[in-house]
Amino acid sequence: DAGVIQSPRHEVTEMGQEVTLRCKPISGHNSLFWYRQTMMRGLELLIYFNNNVPIDDSGMPEDRFSAKMPNASFSTLKIQPSEPRDSAVYFCASSLPQGAGQPQHFGDGTRLSIL
C-alpha cells in the first residue's frame, strides 16, 4: 500500500519567494496533519484537517502560512513570502478517524531551505 506521499523532497529557494508543499494522504484516511521539525523546537503541529475541514490551525506561525485541503486526496501548505527562519523539515501525516488512538502515518518530509 502506498504511504503518505509528499513533494518535493527538497526545496531550496530565496527569501521572499512563495513555497508550496504538497501531500497525498493514505487512501481512506480522513485525518491529515502538517508538522514542522527543527532542531530547536522539535516536532510542532501546524494544522489538523478532519474530512478536508481545518479543525485546528493554532500552530500556524503567522499569516504567511496557509494550508488547504480541496479534496480527500490532496493538501497543500503554502508559505508566502518565505523567510530564512522557515527553514525546516515539513511533514505531512494522515490517520484513520481519531478517537481510538489511531497512529499517524508520516510522509518522508520536505526539507525546506530558505536562503
Partner 1 sequence: AQTVTQSQPEMSVQEAETVTLSCTYDTSESDYYLFWYKQPPSRQMILVIRQEAYKQQNATENRFSVNFQKAAKSFSLKISDSQLGDAAMYFCASSRAGSYQLTFGKGTKLSVIP
The nearest distance, CB 50 to partner 1, in angstroms, is: 7
Question: 76: how many CB neighbours lie within 10 A of its CB?
Answer: 15
Q: What are phi and psi of 16, to 5 degrees?
A: 95, -20
Task: Choose between 72 and 89: whose C-beta lies nearer to partner 1.
Answer: 89
Cβ nearer to partner 1, comparing 82 with 110: 110
Residue with Cβ nearer partner 1 (45 or 68): 45
Q: What is the residue whose three cell numbers read 496533519?
A: 33
Cα gap 44→84, rounded to integer Å: 18
Give the amino acid at 74: F
Per-residue cell: 49:
484537517
Provide the minimum distance between the beta carbon of 94 and partner 1 in the complex, in angstroms, as a whole number: 11
Q: Residue 63 or residue 99: which is nearer to partner 1 going by CB?
A: 99
DSSP code, position 104: P
Which residues contribute to the site for partner 1 (CB under 8 A)? 31, 33, 42-43, 45, 48, 50, 55-56, 89, 91, 93, 95, 98-101, 103-109, 111
